Every structure is written in C-alpha cells, then in structure tokens.
C-alpha cells in the first residue's frame, strides 16, 4: 500500500533531462491528459465542486503524506483552482491520530462520512494505507463518490487475483458499482518485483513475516505465489503480533529453518523496526528486504528513530515511486515544486499527490458540466485512457487499476533515507 520514504534525497537531480515536452511556463507543466475524453456539452461548465484528500499526516509516513498534500496543492494552484470553468475547492483531511502513530479506523470512517455528506464533493484522494481504504471505499461507494488512491497497493481492493481474500473486491462495493481507482501499481507487481530482486541477489531460502493487515497479509501471500512461480523457496510465512516487545522467537524460528533472506510484509508502525533488528541479529548473514510499507525514512533513518545503520546496510526495499527525474514529467515537476515550496528534493510521493489532483481536474474538465456531479465525474474517471501524465502514459482499467507497472528499488543512503537505485521491471 504505500508508504515510503523521504527517499528522494540523494537524487541526482541533474542529468536526465529527458526530452520532457514542455508545458506552460508557469508550471502548468505536467499532465495534460485524458486526450480522448469527450468534451461534454457545448459551452464551458461552471459551478463549484469540493475535493478532499485523506492521508495519515502523523506518524512514520508523514514525510510521504505531507509531500503528497504539497503535490496536490501545487496542481491546484497551477490550475488556479479551476477545472475548465468549474471552481475546485480542496480540503486535506488526516486519517491518522497521534496516539496510533498511523491511520486510525475511526478517523478513516469519520473522514469518509464527512465527505459522503458533502453534496458538492465529487472526488476523494486517499487513503495512503490499503487497510484504511478497505474501510473508506464502502462508505464512499454507497454515495457514488469517486476515490483515487495515490498509494494503495493491496491487490484485493480492485481485483480477485491471487493474493486477494475471499469476497474481495465485491465486499468493498456494496452498490455493485466501481468507485475506487488508484494510480500506483498493485502488489501483484510489487510481489513479483521483490521476488525478482531477491532471486537476482542470490537468495535461496526466504523467511517471510507479515503484520496480518489487509496490505501485509495480502502482499505476503503474493510473495509466496510469485516465489513459487520463480522457484524460490519460502521457508515460512508468519503473522506477527505487532505490539509484541520483541520478535526473537520468530527470528530463532527463521534461523532454524535456514533462511538466508528475510522480508517483512507490513508497515513500520506494526513492529517493523523491531522485527528487522531481531532477524538481523539472529541471521547475521541474511539479506533483508522490505516492501513500500517500510521503505520510508521513518524506518530506514536512525536519526528518525528507525533501524540502526548496521541493519540498514543489509536492507533493500521496493516502492512504486521512482527517482523523480526518471518520470517523464519529473524534471518540470521538480522545478515547479522547488519554486513553490523551496524544496529541491521532495519525497517521490509528492508527484503522486500532484498527479492525483491533476487527474481530478482533467476529469472534471473533460466531463464538462457533468463533471460537477458525482455520477458524471465517476463515469469520466473510468474512461481515462492513454493519459499523458507526469508519471508517463497510462490508463485506468475496468477494475480501477493503473496500467503503470514500474517499481523502484531502494537502498539506505548515506544520510539514512531511502536512496533510489534502479527500476524493477517485474512481470505481473
């Protein structure tokens, strides 16, 4: 599902000025999209709509989510809060609590209900965590509000492919209509990417642990499936009690199984730091891997109370974000972001926040007057095809999934934050 780090750092911002088609000089740079969308109606649409985001702005993921909010605001500012003639108002909601240090079920439901009751609301950008979206999707589905997640990866939110649970994704769609979509590739691809990487690093026996949440348990199942396909042995897949004082028992089990690599499918807040420390100690030679749930500075950086440097040196992780400069519209996005926020090296998730809002704005504009209604917006969103965006060209398929498939491989950089290494092209 999401998460990740202040990875951007160490980005060699330079180079890579891929011929990025220029855009407006004021920064309306990126995304001009939805080319084949019908310009509904005759004259320019008018009116006012509300758009919300719901992200965990506190806790281990805050670097990523606050960057996303900045990206969302940047897109809106560039468009002067207009989608065609329609005025767009945006409000950022927090789905976390200080107490939980991550998303909180009550807060998620409260945010979704608030938006559901707003007659002018047409779109909801969120959540960051798949487990959270599992709660908000049904609430928004019942009132027909389109939801766009800039970070969810759990496979069952959109499909019943292997890795999903029984009843998914129908249980999230009480009306039977699809209202949820996402702009990051799902875990089917991340699972394959992780397995591909582990195999190429020489792993032979991989121990897996998961935090038993929608995202972690689903990803762990996918890793098992993909490992089987690629003939990589999984020694065990253990669900953990996330608030246990330590996981030395789990680690000694992995040791007795002879694991030479370890991956934790879960998020930082669910015992992530402790389990890596304990496994690293019990298996001093094992390579350590993590998904986007732990690929964030709050996990990797000792200065931010993350794992120690000695463990970080053995750790690699995957995230749906790439080096910002690797994106087709990355350079221009960086320039605009830097001008707006005086931040040259934003977390890569900023671009997903930006693209989510661009998608909303372009969808409203493309739908014409119908874009000011929930039904019209939703119908138009699912018509997104070959959209030319800052992330590259993609479509939203009939399940609500993006057709993008790239995952980034990260290590821990000298500053302790995740550092982009390469793009993994994993076949789903």
Partner 1 sequence: MATTDAPPLPSAAAPARNIFAELLSKYGLFAVLLALPVFYGIKDLRDQGDLSPLATNIFQGLSNGSIWALIAVGYTLVYGIIELINFAHGENFMIGSFVSAGLWGTLGLTLATGPLGLVLGLLLTLIVAMVTCGSLNVMIEKVAYRPLRSAPKLAPLITAVGFSFILQNVGLLWLGGSPAGVPDLLRAQDEVATIIGIRVQRADILAILVTIPLVIAMVTFINKSRLGKAMRATAQDPDAARLQGINVDTTISLTFLIGGMLAGAAGLIYALYQTTIWFFQGFQAGLIAFTAAVMGGIGNLKGAVLGGLIIGVIQQISDSRIGSEWTPAIVFGYLVLVMVFRPQGLIGEETREAG
Of 19, 43, 200, 243, the one binding partner 1 (CB under 8 A) is 243
Size of the site for partner 1 (CB under 8 A): 41
Question: Should residue 21 be labelled a site residue for partner 1 when binding is judged by CB under 8 A?
Answer: no
State in angstroms the smallest separation of the CB of 238 from partner 1. 6
Question: Should residue 25 be labelled a site residue for partner 1 when binding is judged by CB under 8 A?
Answer: no
Question: Should residue 389 be labelled a site residue for partner 1 when binding is judged by CB under 8 A?
Answer: no
Closer residue to partner 1 in complex, CB, 187/278: 278
For the chain, give me the number of helices (H) and strands (E)? Answer: 12, 15
Residue 249 near residue 236, CB atoms below 8 Å? no
Question: Should residue 95 be labelled a site residue for partner 1 when binding is judged by CB under 8 A?
Answer: no
Question: Should residue 228 be labelled a site residue for partner 1 when binding is judged by CB under 8 A?
Answer: no
Cis status of the peptide bond prior to 169, with omega within 30 of 0? yes
How many whole angstroms separate alpha carbon 381 and alpha carbon 363? Answer: 6
Question: Should residue 131 be labelled a site residue for partner 1 when binding is judged by CB under 8 A?
Answer: no
Longest dimension (CA), the chain: 71
Closer residue to partner 1 in complex, CB, 306/400: 306
Of 84, 169, 271, 408, the one binding partner 1 (CB under 8 A) is 271
Closer residue to partner 1 in complex, CB, 125/265: 265
Site map (CB under 8 A) of partner 1, residues 207-226, x = contact: -----x--------------
**Stretch of 169-177, 249-257, 331-339, 372-380 contacting partner 1, by CB under 8 A:** 249-257
Exposure class string for 57-93: b at 16+ Cβ within 10 A, else e: bbbbbbbbbbbbbbbbbbbbbbbeeebbebebebebb
State in angstroms the smallest separation of the CB of 351 from partner 1. 25
How many whole angstroms separate alpha carbon 121 and alpha carbon 111? Answer: 12
Closer residue to partner 1 in complex, CB, 307/356: 307
How many whole angstroms separate alpha carbon 178 and alpha carbon 113? Answer: 18
Question: Should residue 306 be labelled a site residue for partner 1 when binding is judged by CB under 8 A?
Answer: yes
Question: Should residue 346 be labelled a site residue for partner 1 when binding is judged by CB under 8 A?
Answer: no
DSSP string, 168-221: TTGGG-TTSS--EEESS--HHHHHHHHHHHHHHTT--EEEEEE-SSHHHHHHHH
Question: Should residue 241 be labelled a site residue for partner 1 when binding is judged by CB under 8 A?
Answer: yes
Residue 4 near residue 295, CB atoms below 8 Å? yes
Neighbours of 244 (CB within 10 A): 14
Question: Should residue 31 be labelled a site residue for partner 1 when binding is judged by CB under 8 A?
Answer: no
Restricting to residues 272-301, name those near partner 1 by CB under 8 A.
Answer: 273-274, 277-278, 281-282, 298
Closer residue to partner 1 in complex, CB, 247/315: 247
Of 50, 87, 97, 338, the one binding partner 1 (CB under 8 A) is 97
How many whole angstroms separate alpha carbon 168 and alpha carbon 154? Answer: 11
Site map (CB under 8 A) of partner 1, residues 167-206, x = contact: ----------------------------------------
Angle at 296 between CA 293 and CA 300, to 5 degrees: 110
Given the DSSP bridges, would you call strands 121-126 and 82-83 parallel, antiparallel or unpaired? unpaired
User: At residue 122, what are phi and psi to the nearest 5 degrees?
Assistant: -120, -25
Residue 128 near residue 55, CB atoms below 8 Å? yes
How many whole angstroms separate alpha carbon 383 and alpha carbon 284? Answer: 51
**Stretch of 77-85, 195-203, 302-310, 415-423 contacting partner 1, by CB under 8 A:** 302-310
Question: Should residue 98 be labelled a site residue for partner 1 when binding is judged by CB under 8 A?
Answer: yes
Contact residues for partner 1 (CB under 8 A)?
A: 58-60, 96-102, 212, 238-241, 243-250, 252-253, 256, 268-269, 271, 273-274, 277-278, 281-282, 298, 302, 305-308
């Amino acid at each position: 599902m999401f998460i990740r780090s202040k990875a951007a750092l160490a980005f060699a911002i330079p180079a890579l000025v891929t011929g990025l088609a220029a855009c407006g000089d004021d920064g309306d740079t990126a995304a001009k999209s939805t080319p084949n969308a019908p310009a509904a109606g005759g004259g320019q649409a008018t009116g006012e709509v509300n758009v919300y985001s719901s992200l965990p702005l506190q806790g281990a993921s805050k670097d990523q989510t606050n960057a996303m909010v900045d990206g969302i605001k940047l897109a809106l500012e560039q468009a002067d809060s207009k989608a065609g003639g329609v005025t767009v108002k945006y409000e950022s909601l927090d789905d976390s609590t200080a107490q939980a240090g991550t998303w909180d079920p009550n807060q998620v439901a409260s945010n979704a209900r608030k938006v559901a009751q707003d007659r002018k609301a047409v779109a909801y950008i969120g959540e960051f965590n798949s487990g959270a979206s599992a709660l908000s999707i049904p609430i928004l589905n019942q009132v027909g509000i389109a939801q766009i997640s800039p970070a969810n990866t759990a496979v069952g939110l959109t499909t019943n492919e292997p890795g999903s649970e029984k009843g998914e994704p129908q249980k999230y769609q009480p009306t039977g209509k699809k209202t949820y979509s996402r702009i990051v590739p799902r875990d089917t691809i991340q699972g394959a990417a992780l397995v591909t990487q582990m195999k190429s690093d020489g792993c032979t026996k991989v121990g897996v642990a998961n935090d038993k949440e929608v995202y972690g348990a689903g990803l762990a199942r996918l890793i098992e499936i993909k490992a089987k396909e690629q003939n990589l042995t999984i020694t065990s897949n253990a669900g953990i009690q996330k608030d246990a004082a330590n996981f030395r028992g789990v680690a000694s089990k992995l040791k007795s199984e002879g694991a030479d690599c370890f991956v934790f499918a879960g998020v930082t807040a669910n015992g992530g730091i402790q389990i890596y420390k304990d496994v690293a100690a019990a298996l001093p030679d094992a390579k350590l891997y993590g998904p986007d749930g732990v690929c964030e500075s709050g996990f990797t950086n000792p200065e931010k109370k993350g794992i120690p440097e000695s463990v970080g040196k053995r750790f690699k992780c995957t995230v749906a974000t790439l080096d910002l400069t690797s994106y087709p519209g990355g350079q221009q996005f960086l320039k605009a972001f830097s001008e707006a926020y005086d931040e040259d090296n934003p977390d890569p998730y900023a671009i997903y926040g930006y693209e989510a809002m661009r998608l909303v704005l372009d969808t409203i504009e493309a739908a014409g007057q119908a874009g000011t209604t929930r039904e019209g917006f939703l119908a138009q969103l699912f018509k997104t095809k070959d959209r030319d965006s800052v992330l590259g060209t993609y479509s939203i398929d009939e399940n609500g999934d993006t057709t993008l498939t790239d995952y980034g491989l990260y290590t821990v950089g000298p500053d302790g934050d995740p550092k982009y290494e390469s793009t993994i092209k994993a076949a789903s």
